[in-house]
Amino acid sequence: IEKPAPTYAFDMGSEIPVPVCVQRAGYMTLGVEDYQTFDYDSTELIYHLTLHSPHTKYKIRWVWYHEEANKIKLQFNVDNILHRNRWVHPGEVVIEDAWIPDACIHDNEITIKIKVLNGTIAVLSGLEIEKEQVGGGGPQGEDALRSSLYALRLLPMYPNPSKGILKIRFSSPDERNVTVMIFDVAGRLVNKVFEGKSKIGSNEFLITPKELSAGVYFIKVESNDYIETQKIVLLK
């Protein structure tokens, strides 16, 4: 199975409209971090994408963030098939992901709707889609995909380069002993972020590396049967 590769990655809140956005009231920039910008609408945001790679599974990842006075209940909806509801508190960064159901992509297109269920506005701070190529279909391809779904996996760093905050995320199929570390370019351990049992599903660490200078670092996630390293650039 091919390693997941980014298919779409959109930064919200740009003065230039996100090209796939078909309904948007405006955008807002609150700070230098990518997650502090977002699209917003009084009731609903709508994005329309074309996905046309054969023998492909797609994973979608989205970021919630707002600075309204009160918490907001939002719904992430893909083709009225995939639904995720979430309360998001002011200033909270929430990263969620899910596999896009096959029923959504049979026509090679998906429509994403962000709805406000309770609160003031519908907001979205980030949107990213990855693809996994499944060779030729058939039982062997299905087994390979199933294997990938139940493996520990370090997710792409977001944002990268980063300024002031590092977001380290990995998915785990079960509770297992995991160590998350940061190394400098000389291979020296500079920060042990986490050592213990992972949660089932998404695991996320938001750290402010005040003790680190600007430069290139490597994030390493390690368990009994898994080691993966990703590079991240830290700005000051």
Q: Mean of the pLDDT values across residues 32-42?
A: 85
Residues in the chain: 236
Give residue-wise pLDDT tens across range 96-126: 988 888 888 877 889 999 999 999 999 999 8
What amino acid is encoded at 19 in this protein? P
Q: What is the torsion angle, in degrees rounded to the nearest 10, for the CA atoms of residue 130, residue 132, residue 137 and residue 138?
A: -120
What integer pLDDT is reported at residue 147 of this predicted model?
38
Strands (DSSP E) contained in the chain are 5-11, 21-23, 26-29, 37-41, 44-50, 56-64, 72-78, 82-88, 94-99, 109-118, 122-124, 126-133, 153-154, 162-163, 166-172, 177-184, 189-197, 201-207, 215-223, 226-235
Angle 94-95-96 (CA atoms, 0-180°, nearest 5)?
A: 120
- List the structure tokens of 198: 């992972």
Give residue-wise pLDDT tens across range 43-95: 999 998 887 666 678 888 899 999 999 999 999 999 999 999 999 999 998 98
For residue 145, the surrounding DSSP H or E stretch is: helix 138-149
Specify the pTM.
Answer: 0.57
Give residue-wise pLDDT tens across range 44-54: 999 988 876 66
